[in-house]
Structure 1
Amino acid sequence: MSGMSQEKEEEVVSGVASPKEVLIVEDDLPLASQWRRFLKREFSVAVATNKEETFLQLRSKKFPVVLLDLGLPPYPESPRVGLELLKELVVQDPLLKVIVITAHGQKEVAQAALSMGAYDFLVKPVDDEMLLSLLRRAAWRCSLESAWLSAKREELPTSMVLESEAMRRVAEEVRRVAPLEVNVLVEGESGTGKELVAQLIHSWSKRRGRPFVAVDCAAIPVNLGEAELFGAERGAYTGAVRRIEGKVAQAEGGTLFLDEIGEISWELQAKLLRFLETKEYSPLGGKAKKGDVRIIAATNRELDQEVERGKFRLDLFYRIGQMMVSVPPLRERKEDILPLARHFINTLSREFNVPPSTLSKEAEKVLLTYGYPGNVRELRNLISRALLLANGGVILPEHLGLRVGESTEDVGISAAKRGYDLPRAKRALEEGWIREALRRHDGKITPAARDLGIPRTTLYDLIKKYAISI
């Protein structure tokens, strides 16, 4: 090995190839100054002495590594404030590497910190060389993860947020599935971003560059489903005054995305199954044709249960579900909430031609504790409303239309009440969710039905049932 290459290898291992930023959170200023002098040959060091100064520093500069003494004011003898700060830091930036410092004999505290997302821990008195080695390793790991995430973002066909571990696992699962010439079923609640996942599969597949055609199966009239998918010749049925090119033909060579596939009729299921088995289809009134498309389907229903109820064909379920990808609801990936909110602020402010706003701490807290029955789509709607109301100012909870303290439980089933039998409770919950979906969408049926995960015809029936005025 040449002297030059050996030197570069040493730089990579030691972390001195370029200056790294580290924030020391320590209320003992003489000790913090000692560490700063020792580390300044390799790191650019900033110091904060309490929780408030920590966030001021983080807002002014991007730090990959934080050295956090858990004993902070106003209770420096207790790790409570430090642990609270650790929790907030890792939620705010999942890539941040936080090394915590504990007092001698606090093994349980160190274990608690690691379980909350700390990168590693040191015990006082801290050995300088051990500290330096750990900081080098943390900075190197952070740079690797940042490079990986940047590469993933550059390859994404759409603006997806991959801050949470759950969504990173989804992306990795998609990367494995995408090159395979198999049909894929994407499962997840309404509004979780199933179409974005389908676009990602298409973009990472051998069919990228070919058409990606999306079909909202819930919006297809029952009597026109076959014509919508497979096309129809002029005069094939009453009202067919011109030739219709079906979605299968439009997607030739590419990907056909069937959103909410659980909504298609039994008859159309049979025709779709035949196409999947033979790669052959016939437009209404036309001759048989060969079709080369990959099917990606999505559903917010439990299709295996629909099979048991006799509402979905078992053979079709197996055909479309050769591989499955599950998209978690937003309430289970809270690390994505604030990055998504900021992304929507940036994109929607340009779309609405209004000045970009910032989120207040209270608004961030409300967003992180809310339950999101409508998932990412609902978050986008909340930010849309807030942007227009804030008009370039700071977004407050009232701009979001949410109350401080409103949480996941507020959108679920509250504790059982005396004299409130189960049928009555189910009716009350159903009516409440319908009214809330209609309120969020200003009385518009189609988006409200999509949020609720039901067909429009069902929503109309329920509106009539509960005498809801729109």
Structure 2
Amino acid sequence: MNREKEEGAVSGAASPKKLLIVEDDLPLALQWRRFLQGEFTVEVASTREEALSHLEKGEIALLLLDLGLPPSSETPQVGLELLREITEKDPLLKVIVITAHGQDEVAHTALSFGAYDFLVKPVDEEMLLTLLRRATWRWGLEREWLSSREEGLPVPMVVASEAMRKVVDEVRRIAPLEVNVLIMGESGTGKELIAQLLHRWSRREGRPFVAVDCAAIPVTLGEAELFGAERGAYTGAVKRMEGKVAQAEGGTLFLDEMGELSWELQAKLLRFLETKEYAPLGGRARKGDVRVIAATNRNLEEEVRRGKFRLDLFYRMNQLTVTVPPLRERRDDILPLARHFINQLSREFGLPPSSLSPDAEEAILQHPFPGNVRELRNMISRALLLAGGGTITPQHFGLGVGEGTGDVGFSTPGPGYDLPRARRALEERWIKEALKRHGGKIAPAAKDLGIPRGTLYDILKRHGIKIGENI
């Protein structure tokens, strides 16, 4: 993909982040601005005073700072003082410092003052772009986290769209009420997170939150699963079994996909909701102090008409409802969610931080996501393994653009898919291909893969790859 096309994809997929270049060599600063202008909104300053003036005007996400600033451009002192001043004012700002060759101690001092990273002159522009993309990604994640803390979200939710903000506001309003709640929405929209939010904002916070996958309860063991069973209550009951209601005592019982419950179990659940009393199989009746929150991806009113769901239970659970919109109706959440999953799964997989290429952002923004947030997470998981810590492109998603339609299709692993083994095989294949392309040279291969040279050496050692022998 050429740079002009890439720049167009960026402007269409997401608003460019604001970058301030602080460099007293004006021709060099303008050269960097021309190179970066399509992906970032670039401003230029040549002195400490100009830099502070720009920072006061508006939200700067990224700062490229040459430490050699007037009036003493030959030393890093002014640049280091400016770095400390601005990172104290805005810890979220990502600062990449530029140092002269041989100034390792200065670079380490800059990192201790809060710099995100450093580059040594002469600066490789492609390396600069990669570093700025990663810094942008980190800035976005930290801002999302800070925003969620400011909103008082006690669960790891990404709320960027107006549609989800309305859902969260509704949850905040009804959470303290001691009534049953029915959460409706398609599969994969995050209904359990909403249930957790209801629990955390209620007086029952600190007490158990017990989730039950109603679709996974065996028909013959449904009553025992929910209400428990004494030893010998049925064939195979060799010991006492504590039910989910007892486990949730004093807290919240979350019934995921309640529409999957059998007719008989619906009747027993209704009785518990009406009387707050239940009896384990083979045991005596007892009281239960539990708030019930249920979720469904079905139209329960239609299920009632078809005779598949009890009308009285529907009325009992339908006291308050929360509807979670599908991902296709809250597209402002897609990129923040993608970045959140990249951060989360990179740590889980032991991979270096990655980022989405502009055309990858554009591609996922166009996708209809029938599987909602769950599908997005699975896509990111697969793409991270394929990218191996490098920049994620549409190819890592397994995308195919339909002729003349723009429709995007995602391939998914089949039965027996061994994720760790597939990851190792893909990683080894990509490393070997990169080394072949560059004649076994480490530095250009690492740059091609978007990973540091040290990381590439570690991967070669892990796979037992010896340059010249295995490639």
Normalization by structure 1: what TM-score?
Answer: 0.58
Amino acid at match of 2:363: V
SS at match of 1:359: coil
SS at match of 1:189: coil
Residue 318 of structure 1 deviates from its aligned partner by: 1.0
Correspondence 1:7-406 to 2 at 5 A: 53=37, 55-57=39-41, 150=147, 152=149, 155-404=152-401
CA distance in 2, matches of 1:147, 1:339: 8
Residue 400 of structure 1 deviates from its aligned partner by: 0.8
Residues 1:443 and 2:427 aligned together: no
1:23–1:396 CA distance, 2 compared to 1 (3 A): closer
CA contact (8 A) 1:370 1:407 kept: no
Residue 402 of structure 1 deviates from its aligned partner by: 1.8
Residue 53 of structure 1 deviates from its aligned partner by: 2.0
Residue 440 of structure 1 deviates from its aligned partner by: 2.8
CA contact (8 A) 2:401 2:408 kept: no
CA distance in 2, matches of 1:158, 1:363: 28
Q: What are the superposed Cα offsets for residues 197-237 of structure 1, whole Å, 9 maximum, x if unpaired?
A: 00000000010000000000000001111000000001101
Coordinate RMSD, CA, aligned: 3.4
CA distance in 2, matches of 1:213, 1:59: 52
Residue 355 of structure 1 deviates from its aligned partner by: 1.1
CA distance in 1, matches of 2:259, 2:416: 22
Residue 156 of structure 1 deviates from its aligned partner by: 2.0
CA distance in 1, matches of 2:43, 2:328: 26
1:441–1:179 CA distance, 2 compared to 1 (3 A): farther
Q: What are the superposed Cα offsets for residues 277-325 of structure 1, whole Å, 9 maximum, x if unpaired?
A: 0000000000001000000000000001101111000110111111000
- 1:8 maps to what in 2? none
CA contact (8 A) 2:191 2:295 kept: yes
CA contact (8 A) 1:329 1:375 kept: yes
CA distance in 1, matches of 2:191, 2:178: 19
CA distance in 1, matches of 2:35, 2:208: 51
Normalization by structure 2: what TM-score?
Answer: 0.58
Question: Unaligned stretches of 5+ in structure 2?
Answer: 1-16, 20-29, 45-53, 61-142, 418-471
Amino acid at match of 1:57: T
CA distance in 1, matches of 2:404, 2:346: 27
CA distance in 1, matches of 2:362, 2:404: 10
CA contact (8 A) 1:370 1:408 kept: no
SS at match of 2:37: helix
CA distance in 2, matches of 1:407, 1:182: 51
Amino acid at match of 1:396: T
1:59–1:51 CA distance, 2 compared to 1 (3 A): same
Residue 59 of structure 1 deviates from its aligned partner by: 11
Residue 371 of structure 1 deviates from its aligned partner by: 0.9
CA distance in 1, matches of 2:223, 2:384: 42
Residue 158 of structure 1 deviates from its aligned partner by: 2.0
1:263–1:23 CA distance, 2 compared to 1 (3 A): closer
Amino acid at match of 1:332: E
Q: What are the superposed Cα offsets for residues 340-375 of structure 1, whole Å, 9 maximum, x if unpaired?
A: 000000000000111121100111011100011110
CA contact (8 A) 2:148 2:159 kept: no
SS at match of 2:293: strand
Residue 155 of structure 1 deviates from its aligned partner by: 2.6
CA distance in 1, matches of 2:363, 2:226: 43
SS at match of 2:242: coil
CA contact (8 A) 1:192 1:330 kept: yes
Residue 57 of structure 1 deviates from its aligned partner by: 2.8
SS at match of 2:400: coil
1:360–1:293 CA distance, 2 compared to 1 (3 A): same
CA distance in 2, matches of 1:398, 1:179: 46
CA contact (8 A) 1:227 1:284 kept: yes
1:289–1:187 CA distance, 2 compared to 1 (3 A): same
Amino acid at match of 1:443: P
Amino acid at match of 1:179: P
Residue 150 of structure 1 deviates from its aligned partner by: 2.5
Residue 152 of structure 1 deviates from its aligned partner by: 4.9
SS at match of 2:233: coil
CA distance in 2, matches of 1:343, 1:399: 18
Indicate the percent of aligned positions where both proteins have the same amino acid.
Answer: 68
Question: Unaligned stretches of 5+ in structure 1?
Answer: 1-21, 25-45, 67-145, 413-435, 446-470
Moved over 6 A (4+): 48-52, 58-63, 146-149, 405-409
CA contact (8 A) 2:401 2:407 kept: no
1:64–1:226 CA distance, 2 compared to 1 (3 A): farther
CA distance in 2, matches of 1:383, 1:374: 13
Residue 58 of structure 1 deviates from its aligned partner by: 6.9
CA contact (8 A) 1:222 1:265 kept: yes
CA contact (8 A) 1:372 1:408 kept: no
CA distance in 2, matches of 1:319, 1:257: 15
CA distance in 1, matches of 2:18, 2:233: 71
CA distance in 1, matches of 2:337, 2:209: 25
Amino acid at match of 1:442: G
CA distance in 2, matches of 1:229, 1:382: 34
CA distance in 1, matches of 2:403, 2:342: 22
